[in-house]
Amino acid sequence: MRYTPPKILLIVLAIVLNWTVPAGAADALYPLISYKCDTDADILTITNSLLKDDMGANFKYSTEDGTYSPWDMVEIARSTDSTRIIKSSKITNSCKLSSGVYTAILEPQIFSKDLDGQCGATISGAVTVIFDGSELLERTAFEDHCQGNLPIITRITVFGKTGEYKIKRIAKYKFY
């Protein structure tokens, strides 16, 4: 005769599994930084988003399209006992709007250079916006910490007519 577990045992097991595996934990996440200089609309837009699973794995980041991955801005060294970020780079783009030329410097926001350590598998981006040789927006990370619940920046818009910028933030739980 075959053993059949009681229904209550199956229910308890299902609840425990739901508690221990966060929703979306199996999703592979790929950060995407987009840069768009729209001279017709007289705005510069920099966005921060995530691509998931196959969409992210197959996405073709392109300077021509203004799409970047922070992972492409780091150099990684692998050894038998560790995997570390040893170097990072920046991408500089210029945008001529009605009030002048804006320079956006995009770079990775590295939470840990030890990719095997806490937060090591997580990366985000940061941006600096320069206008007429002065920082309009000092280096601003889209995400300040790899843990916690601080809001995440999803968009920075610079308006050519006024020279002002606007930052859009959302709750971290809505981003991930």
pTM of the model: 0.81
Question: What are the angstrom distances between the C-alpha of 117 and each of 11, 84, 111, 112, 139?
Answer: 35, 9, 10, 7, 25
pLDDT digits (tens, 9 = 90+) for 94-104: 999 999 999 99
Q: Is 140 left (phi over 0), alpha (psi -120 to 50) or beta?
A: beta
The answer to whether position 129 is within a domain reads yes
* Domains held by the chain: number: 1
Backbone CA torsion sign across 17, 120, 142, 100: negative
The answer to whether position 139 is within a domain reads yes
Question: Which domain, by its residues, includes 36?
Answer: 26-175
The answer to whether position 124 is within a domain reads yes
pLDDT digits (tens, 9 = 90+) for 118-147: 888 889 999 999 998 899 999 999 998 888
Q: Which token pair is 108?
A: 């990775």
User: According to the model, what pLDDT value does residue 4 have?
Assistant: 53
Mean pLDDT computed over 51-69: 93
For the chain, give the mean pLDDT.
Answer: 87
The DSSP H or E segment spanning 104 is strand 100-110
The answer to whether position 2 is within a domain reads no
